[in-house]
């Protein structure tokens, strides 16, 4: 046994538990610690290829021996969180499946087991690597035993490094720890003696015993008295920190041999934990092992055909023209569809068989387009794909409009599992069929070496594209059944699928940006930033890098500013919520907030938006995503125009740069008024809420009048603001602490506000509890249209996950139904515009708001049509209200 790697499993698990947040499997069980542990193990495998290894866990009742000596040992530690306990058990299961030897000895701490293994192994000439960041293990370090800190670039700590880090050699480490104590284990040490003092005294006296025997030689009075009075405590601490190297461990070297993993069971284990990234890596590793061993890959029955001659192309077109539904996939040169050029098209009808037609082969672009155009424009043939909107755009680039989109597997996956973020074809193929598909990077590379699909060998592209088509066909077959079984067909076919074309039209229309006007705004903002910088420098008394937290902390220390919050390492935090708190006392904090706000607007929008303008159309063409937000809301990217601030003056100025391209045109903005509060009234049937909306009251002022027992006419702006915070806080499941932070009041007052709110709106309270209970029973939240969001965490043993799930159970029916409402309105408005051949176009959706670019002569008619359509899209127990504003730019709207 040349080398032995000893893993501090308990340390890996605990650190991962607190470092990785909110990670769960499909049952809502926490998997964060387990995932971090597995990643740590795999890193050691990859970096060191160990032949001998052991993973060491704390044994049950592991503190027993030391608590018998000192009752307060680890007494301050919290009980192991319930959702960490079962992850520890699963980590041990992983070790078994991985062929990784492990030990968990009853009544023994991991450190003691590791120490005993190290001492035994080095006697046999083995080099031992203790994989841990625990400084207690430094006492074991010598010429044969090292610490290996995998979290710090595989830092190997030998005797020299122990001396450099702690200022003492390993043989003095026990005495050093006895003096300094250990807060994490509640080891007392000598009060007031820090690391530097401990190292200095040990150098002077040579050992703890010599220090305790010669207190008179200690010059500092206070420390001398401590040594005289607390000597026994130091001796006790030495006993506690000394690693027990006499633990009974396996003494047969074969125990520590790494064994072959149980591939099939490990695969099932990863799948049950939703570890898709690990699943993919496992599959690839398995394939590599087979190649090295010379084993032929399993025979497949797939038939992937390259169509690159006239005869084959004609036969394919004839066959496809006789089909009712066809899967298709485009291969292109760009991820942004409007910029993308076609490399080829894949087709499929049944699983296991697909065709690829390149446009850069023998047939040529024009012949392929000429051949497929009648096919795609045939209303009798349904076409489907994965993220079919992208392919729809690509064909539109060549004046081919797909007449009949009959399915989209990405949307089906999203409706069936809206809580998941894994809807890519690669992830779904792996999850549902255990198939590791060829990754795009294998074909076109990464980074500086990236090429386009047109430059890849056609046979390689053929196999890649046909594989995509094949597994899309398989997914469609699977998802169709699941949509039926879950009764989600109506929502899918009547709302989500038809919306694909509507969004594609919006994206192709785009929005015009007045770039010269934005440049003028840029000059003004740059000048404001420069002024703010100078004001901050003046308040600081010195110039420094405003974007460096380290330098900012130094300035705060110089000015005597103490932060209200600290990082885990004890440093002052300088993020926005801290600065907001500090600005009440220190003007420099307020100026820094202003600077950061302006700098973010400048870099995120003012400088980058002109780069998003398409040089051919002179407009911005963002992408709207239907399969991202779990509530059903649309999201926006490249760029995200839903996120341009409206509350700040500069944010409004940026919106001013968005205007109609043509003269004699305007923007028409239609916004649902208080939609989520109206839905709350509808769902809860609270008489006070219903009364307020039926009588078109200002809902925030009305709420203020109820909870503060004040006549409506006497409600002040401040009271209205507080009531508004409570109104929206209820929708998002906000608790007293969150409300107190928002209103700048104490938690007790915030709690009283919430109690008063529920006292006046008692049916709302009942509705909130109903949502939670329903989610506990069913594991999901449902909108009015039947859209589902799985919330398995509602039964989690982790209180933070459980609280978050309870908030989602309440918010999802409101936000999700609001999302469905505006999608319905978008469909109806698109139908009206197409039917009546209107020149106006729907160009943006910002959650509860639609924006149209419209010729001025259509304004009068469209104001009425848009308002009525949006208000009549769904009948509630109270009226829906839509506010219409017309302006010459986005700011005016």
Q: What's the confidence (pLDDT) of residue 568?
A: 52
**Number of C-beta neighbours around residue 150 at 10 A:** 20
With a cut of 90, say whether residue 305 has pLDDT above it: yes
Q: What's the confidence (pLDDT) of residue 793?
A: 93
pLDDT level of residue 731 (50, 70, 90 thresholds)? confident
Average pLDDT (316-339) is 96
pLDDT level of residue 150 (50, 70, 90 thresholds)? confident
Q: In this predicted structure, which of 681-690, 745-754, 874-883 has the lowest mean pLDDT?
A: 745-754
Q: Work out the burial of residue 627: count CB atoms within 10 Å of its CB; fewer than 13 is exposed, 13-18 middle, 19 or more buried.
A: buried
More confident residue, 211 or 778: 778
- Dig out the tokens for 419 from the structure: 């809580």
Give span(s): CATH 3.30.420.10, the chain: 303-486
Give span(s): CATH 1.20.1060.10, the chain: 514-612
Helix (H) or strand (E) holding 512: strand 511-512
514-612: which CATH topology?
A: Taq DNA Polymerase; Chain T, domain 4 (1.20.1060)
Please name the residue that has the structure tokens 């959706």: 845
- Dig out the tokens for 188 from the structure: 């007392």
With a cut of 70, say whether residue 558 has pLDDT above it: yes
User: Which of 555-564, 752-761, 840-849 has the highest average model confidence (pLDDT)?
Assistant: 840-849
Q: What's the confidence (pLDDT) of residue 857?
A: 97
pLDDT level of residue 741 (50, 70, 90 thresholds)? confident
With a cut of 70, say whether residue 300 has pLDDT above it: no
The residue ranges of DSSP E strands in 298-397, in sequence order, are 303-306, 325-332, 342-348, 353-358, 382-385
pLDDT level of residue 534 (50, 70, 90 thresholds)? very high
List the alpha helices (DSSP H) in 31-108.
32-48, 64-69, 82-98
Q: Give percent of the chain above pLDDT 90.
A: 72
Q: What's the confidence (pLDDT) of residue 297?
A: 57
Q: Are 383 and 326 in contact (CB under 8 A)?
A: yes
Which 3-state string (H, E, C) describes 803-855?
A: HHHHHHHHHHHHHHHHHHHHHHHHHHHHHHHHHCCCCCEEEEEECCEEEEEEE
pLDDT level of residue 567 (50, 70, 90 thresholds)? low
CATH architecture assignment, domain 303-486: 2-Layer Sandwich (3.30)
pLDDT level of residue 677 (50, 70, 90 thresholds)? very high
With a cut of 80, say whether residue 414 has pLDDT above it: yes
pLDDT single digits (tens) 650-663 = 999 999 999 999 99
Average pLDDT (757-775) is 94
Three-state DSSP at 117 gives: helix
pLDDT level of residue 605 (50, 70, 90 thresholds)? very high
Average pLDDT (389-396) is 98
Q: What's the confidence (pLDDT) of residue 566?
A: 62
Q: What's the confidence (pLDDT) of residue 569?
A: 52
pLDDT single digits (tens) 257-285 = 999 999 989 999 999 999 988 998 998 88
CATH architecture assignment, domain 3-256: 3-Layer(aba) Sandwich (3.40)
Q: In this predicted structure, which of 159-168, 218-227, 426-435 has the lowest mean pLDDT?
A: 218-227
pLDDT, averaged across the chain: 92
Q: What's the confidence (pLDDT) of residue 594?
A: 92
Give span(s): CATH 1.10.150.20, the chain: 675-817
pLDDT level of residue 295 (50, 70, 90 thresholds)? low
Q: Are 34 and 94 in contact (CB under 8 A)?
A: yes
pLDDT single digits (tens) 430-444 = 989 988 888 888 899
Q: What's the confidence (pLDDT) of residue 434?
A: 85
Q: Give percent of the chain above pLDDT 70.
A: 98
Average pLDDT (87-111) is 95
675-817: which CATH topology?
A: DNA polymerase; domain 1 (1.10.150)
pLDDT level of residue 77 (50, 70, 90 thresholds)? confident
pTM exceeding 0.95: no
Tell me the torsion sign for CA atoms 38, 41, 46, 51.
negative
Q: Are 458 and 358 in contact (CB under 8 A)?
A: yes
Q: What's the confidence (pLDDT) of residue 74?
A: 83
Average pLDDT (301-330) is 96
């Amino acid at each position: 046994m040349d080398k032995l790697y000893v893993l501090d499993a308990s340390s890996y698990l605990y650190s991962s538990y607190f470092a990785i947040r909110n990670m769960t499997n499909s049952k809502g069980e926490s998997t964060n610690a387990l995932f971090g542990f597995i990643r740590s193990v795999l890193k050691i495998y990859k970096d060191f290829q160990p032949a001998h290894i052991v993973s060491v866990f704390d044994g049950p009742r592991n503190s027993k021996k030391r608590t018998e000596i000192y009752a307060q040992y680890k007494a301050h530690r919290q009980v192991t969180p319930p959702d960490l306990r079962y992850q520890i058990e699963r980590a041990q299961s992983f070790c078994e499946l991985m062929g990784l030897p492990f030990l968990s000895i009853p009544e023994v701490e991991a450190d003691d087991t590791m120490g005993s293994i190290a001492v035994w192994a080095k006697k046999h000439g083995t080099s031992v690597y203790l994989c841990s960041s625990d400084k207690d293990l430094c006492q074991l370090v010598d010429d044969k035993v090292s610490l290996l800190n995998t979290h710090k670039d595989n830092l190997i700590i030998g005797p020299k490094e122990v001396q450099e880090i702690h200022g003492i050699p390993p043989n003095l480490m026990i005495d050093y720890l006895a003096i300094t104590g250990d807060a994490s284990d509640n080891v007392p040490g000598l009060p007031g003696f820090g690391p530097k003092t401990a190292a200095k005294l040990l150098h002077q006296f040579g050992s703890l015993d010599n220090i305790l025997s010669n207190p008179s030689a200690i010059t500092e009075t206070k420390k001398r008295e401590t040594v005289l009075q607390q000597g026994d405590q130091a001796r006790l601490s030495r006993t506690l920190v000394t690693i027990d190297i006499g633990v009974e461990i396996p003494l047969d070297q074969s125990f520590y041999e790494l064994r072959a993993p149980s591939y099939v069971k490990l695969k099932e284990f990863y799948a049950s934990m939703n570890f898709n990234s690990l699943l993919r890596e496992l599959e690839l590793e398995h394939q590599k092992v087979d190649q090295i061993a010379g084993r032929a890959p399993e025979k497949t029955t797939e038939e992937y055909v390259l169509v690159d001659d006239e005869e084959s192309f004609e036969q394919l077109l004839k066959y496809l023209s006789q089909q009712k539904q066809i899967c298709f996939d485009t291969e292109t040169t760009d991820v942004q569809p409007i910029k993308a050029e076609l490399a080829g098209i894949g087709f499929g009808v049944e699983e296991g068989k697909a065709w690829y037609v390149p446009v850069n082969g023998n047939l040529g672009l024009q012949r392929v387009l000429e051949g497929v155009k009648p096919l795609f424009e045939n209303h009798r043939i349904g076409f489907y794909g994965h993220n079919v909107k992208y392919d729809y755009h690509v064909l539109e680039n060549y004046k081919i409009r797909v007449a009949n989109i009959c399915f989209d597997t990405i949307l089906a996956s999203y409706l069936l599992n809206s809580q998941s973020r894994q809807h890519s074809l690669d992830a779904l193929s792996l999850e549902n069929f255990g198939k590791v598909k060829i990754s795009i990077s294998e074909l076109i590379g990464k980074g500086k070496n990236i090429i386009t699909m047109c430059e890849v060998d056609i046979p390689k592209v053929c196999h890649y594209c046909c594989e995509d088509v094949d597994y899309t066909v398989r997914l469609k077959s699977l998802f169709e059944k699941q949509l039926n079984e879950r009764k989600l067909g109506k929502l899918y076919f009547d709302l989500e699928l038809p919306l694909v074309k509507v969004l594609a039209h919006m994206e192709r229309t785009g929005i015009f940006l007045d770039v010269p006007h934005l440049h003028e705004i840029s000059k003004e903002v740059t000048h404001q930033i420069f002024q703010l910088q100078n004001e901050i420098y003046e308040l600081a008394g010195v110039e420094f890098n405003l974007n460096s937290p380290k330098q900012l902390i130094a300035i705060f220390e110089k000015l005597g500013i103490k932060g209200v919050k600290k990082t885990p390492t004890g440093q002052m935090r300088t993020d926005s919520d801290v600065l907001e708190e500090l600005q009440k006392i220190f003007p420099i904090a307020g100026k820094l907030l202003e600077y950061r706000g302006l700098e973010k607007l400048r870099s995120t929008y003012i400088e980058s938006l002109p780069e998003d303008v398409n040089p051919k159309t002179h407009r911005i063409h963002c992408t709207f995503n239907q399969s991202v937000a779990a509530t059903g809301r649309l999201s926006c990217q490249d760029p995200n125009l839903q996120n341009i601030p409206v509350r700040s003056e500069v944010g409004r100025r940026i919106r001013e740069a968005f205007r109609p391209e043509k003269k004699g045109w305007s923007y028409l903005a239609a916004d649902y008024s208080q939609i989520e509060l109206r839905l709350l009234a509808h769902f809860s049937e609270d008489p006070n809420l219903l009364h307020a909306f039926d009588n078109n009251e200002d809902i925030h002022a009305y709420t203020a009048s109820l909870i503060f027992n004040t006549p409506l006419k006497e409600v002040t702006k401040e009271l209205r603001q507080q009531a508004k915070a409570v109104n929206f806080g209820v929708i998002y499941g906000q608790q007293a602490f969150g409300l107190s932070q928002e209103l700048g009041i104490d938690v007790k007052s915030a709690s009283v506000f919430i109690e008063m709110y529920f006292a006046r709106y008692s049916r709302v309270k009942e509705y909130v509890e109903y949502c939670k209970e329903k989610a506990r029973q069913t594991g999901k939240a449902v909108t009015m249209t039947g859209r589902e969001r799985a919330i398995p965490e509602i039964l989690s043993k982790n209180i933070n996950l459980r609280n978050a799930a309870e908030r989602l159970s309440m918010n999802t029916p409101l936000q999700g139904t609001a999302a469905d409402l505006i999608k319905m309105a978008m469909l109806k408005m698109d139908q009206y515009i197409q039917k009546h051949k209107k020149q106006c176009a729907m160009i943006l959706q910002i959650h509860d708001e639609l924006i149209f670019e419209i010729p001025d002569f259509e304004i009068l008619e469209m104001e009425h049509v848009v308002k009525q359509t949006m208000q009549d899209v769904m009948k509630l127990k109270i009226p829906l209200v839509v506010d219409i504003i017309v302006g010459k730019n986005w700011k005016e709207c």
